Amino acid sequence: MKRGVDWRRPRERSWLLFVTAVVLAVLAVVVARWRGPSWALAAVAAVAAAAGVIQGRLQERAKAEDRQQQLLAQFAITEGGRGERLPLVGEVDDPALRVHRAQVSVPYLRRDAEQELVAALLARDPVLVVGSSMAGKTRMAAEVLRTCYGDWPMLVPQGAKALAGLLAGGALLTHRVPPTGAAGLRRSRLPTAGPGGGEHGLPTRLPPLRTRQHDHHE
C-alpha cells in the first residue's frame, strides 16, 4: 500500500530541513553576487531572512518532537514492542484499559450515564465516575473511549516509573504531539457522538492509570 509523504516523520523532516538549508545557501550566494537593482536585492534578502527564521523554528520543533518520541518510545507500550507506533484505542483490550477481568465473559450493557460521560468529555471537563465495586465504572469508561476515540493512538505507560518519566519529560503536557513515527499521538475529531452529534476537537488524551485498587484485585 502506497503511503503519502508525512513531513512530520523524522526522516522526511530531515530532508525538508536539508532542502531548506540548501535553498538558504543558494539565496545567500545570490545575494552576495547580486548585480541587479537594489530593491530586488532587498527582496531576496528579506526572503532569505524569513526562510532563516522558519528554518530555525522548524529545527526547534523537530528537536522537541524527537525528544517527545524518545520519551514515548522509552516509557510507553508500543505496537509490536519496537516503538513503531502507539496502539489505537480500538486495538487495546480490556486489561490494558484497566478493566478488571470478569469471572464470566459477559457482553457489555450500555449505561444510562454514558451520554453524560460523552457530554463531559466533549466539554473537556474532568469526569469522576464513582459507584460501588463491580458496578461497571471502568468498563463504561472503556466502552465510551472505544466508541468515541477508537482511532486515536493510546498512550499506556509501562508502569508507575514510566509514568513518572513521562510526567518529568513533559510528555503529557503538550497538546500537540507527532501523528506518526516511534510514538506519536494525533489530534483527531470525534465521530458523531454525544448529545450534539457533531464533531468536536479534543485535547490530548491521557493514559489509564493503574490504581491501587487495581493492584489489589490483581
Partner 1 sequence: MVFQLVSRRYERGSMIITSNKSFTEWGGVLGDDVLATAILDRLLHHCDVLSINGPSYRLKDRFLTPGGTA
What residues make contact with partner 1 under the rule CB under 8 A? 102-104, 106-107, 109, 111, 113, 116-117, 119-121, 123-141, 145, 160, 163-164, 167, 172-173, 175, 202-204, 206, 209, 211-213
φ and ψ at residue 109, rounded to 5 degrees = -105, 130
| Residue 140 Cβ vs partner 1, minimum distance, rounded to whole Å | 7
| Beta bridge pairs of residue 153 | 88
| Residue 102 Cβ vs partner 1, minimum distance, rounded to whole Å | 4
- Whole-angstrom distance, CA of residue 190 vs CA of residue 180: 19
Nearer to partner 1, 48 or 71 (CB): 71
| Residue 147 Cβ vs partner 1, minimum distance, rounded to whole Å | 13
Nearer to partner 1, 11 or 217 (CB): 217
- Whole-angstrom distance, CA of residue 207 vs CA of residue 90: 14
| Residue 203 Cβ vs partner 1, minimum distance, rounded to whole Å | 3
Nearer to partner 1, 61 or 100 (CB): 100
Query: What angle, 0 to 180 degrees and rounded to 10, lies between the N-to-C axes of helices 10-32 and 38-75?
Result: 160
Nearer to partner 1, 83 or 178 (CB): 178
Handedness of CA 116, 192, 210, 125 (dihedral sign): negative
Q: Residue 198 has what DSSP assignment?
A: S
Cβ neighbours around 214 below 10 Å, total: 15
| Residue 33 Cβ vs partner 1, minimum distance, rounded to whole Å | 52
Q: Is residue 176 a contact partner of residue 65, using CB atoms and an 8 Å limit?
A: no
Nearer to partner 1, 1 or 173 (CB): 173
